[in-house]
């Protein structure tokens, strides 16, 4: 989807739905932002404008009403796109949508995004823990990140992802047919200096 305002072309690269937004606390530390009863629509834009200006000029309507911005906005570490997060109530069924830039319609949310917004996989994801929590200046260490994922219903696989600036790691935790509610831990290891990341064995 591409639109062109008077002086700032913009294109929508991707759209996703999440139960939380990762933003950099103090512009450095990844931090989780989430609110009860809220789901987030995250739109990745390519534009020549700054993040702030692009967000001010971009909009999302759900069921004919303007969707509010999330109170915390994701900042992409690699700065290749401008990511804009909107808040959507979990208690509302969303039937229609409109994406716009400078009031010009760019299109609607894809059908699979609307489906996921209305009926997402039912998972509870705990806060991540990291060990060790300190690395000496100039030293290299292996950091282990653990995230508890609880399956509380039917659905697709839950993808647990980590982004530490110069690298990313993710793992899928599938729903196993015929098995009731259960708990598991997804663990990944990454070089503390931010190089290659590999799932732990």
Taking the CA atoms of 164, 29, 130 and 139 in sequence, report the sign of the dihedral they define.
positive
The residue out of 51, 85, 118 marking a domain boundary is: 118
pLDDT of residue 23: 82
Please count the residues of the chain: 201
Please, are residues 165 and 136 in contact by the beta-carbon 8 Å criterion?
A: no
pTM for this predicted structure: 0.60
Q: How confident is the model at residue 25 (pLDDT cuts 50, 70, 90)?
A: confident
φ/ψ of 118, rounded to 5, equals -85, -30
Could you tell me if 124 and 158 are in contact, meaning their C-beta atoms sit under 8 angstroms apart?
no
What are 49-91's pLDDT values in tens digits?
888 888 889 999 999 999 999 998 887 665 688 899 999 999 8
Question: Do 114 and 129 fall within a single domain?
Answer: no
Average pLDDT over residues 4-31: 75
Domain match, 138 and 72 both: no
- Is 94 in the same domain as 48? yes
* Among 90, 118, 146, residue at a domain's last position: 118
Beta bridge partners of 42: 16, 85
Domain of 159, in residue numbers: 123-199
Same-domain pairing of 93 and 152: no
Whether residue 136 is found in the same domain as residue 85: no
- Number of domains present in the structure of the chain: 2
| Confidence (pLDDT) at 70 | 94
Q: In this predicted model, what pLDDT tens digit does every residue of 160-174 receive, in sequence order?
A: 666 655 566 666 666
Q: What is the pLDDT of residues 90-148, one digit of tens each?
A: 989 999 999 999 889 999 999 989 988 887 766 666 777 878 878 888 888 887 777 77
Among 72, 95, 118, identify where a domain stops.
118
């Amino acid at each position: 989807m591409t639109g062109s305002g008077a002086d700032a072309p913009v294109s929508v690269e991707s759209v996703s739905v999440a139960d939380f937004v990762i933003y950099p606390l103090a512009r450095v530390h990844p931090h989780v932002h989430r609110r009860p009863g809220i789901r987030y629509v995250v739109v990745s834009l390519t534009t020549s404008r700054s993040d702030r200006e692009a967000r001010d000029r971009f909009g999302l309507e759900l069921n004919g009403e303007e969707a509010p911005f999330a109170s915390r906005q994701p900042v992409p570490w690699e700065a290749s796109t401008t990511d804009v997060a909107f808040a959507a109530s979990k208690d509302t069924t969303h039937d229609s949508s409109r994406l716009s830039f400078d009031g010009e319609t760019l299109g609607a949310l894809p059908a699979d995004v609307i489906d996921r917004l209305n009926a997402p996989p039912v998972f509870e994801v705990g806060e991540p823990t990291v060990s060790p929590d300190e690395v000496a200046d100039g030293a290299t260490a292996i950091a282990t990140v653990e995230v508890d994922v609880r399956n509380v219903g039917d659905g697709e696989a839950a993808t647990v992802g980590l982004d530490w600036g110069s690298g990313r790691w993710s793992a899928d935790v599938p729903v196993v047919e015929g098995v009731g509610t259960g708990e598991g831990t997804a663990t990944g290891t990454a070089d503390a200096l931010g190089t290659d990341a590999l799932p732990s064995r």
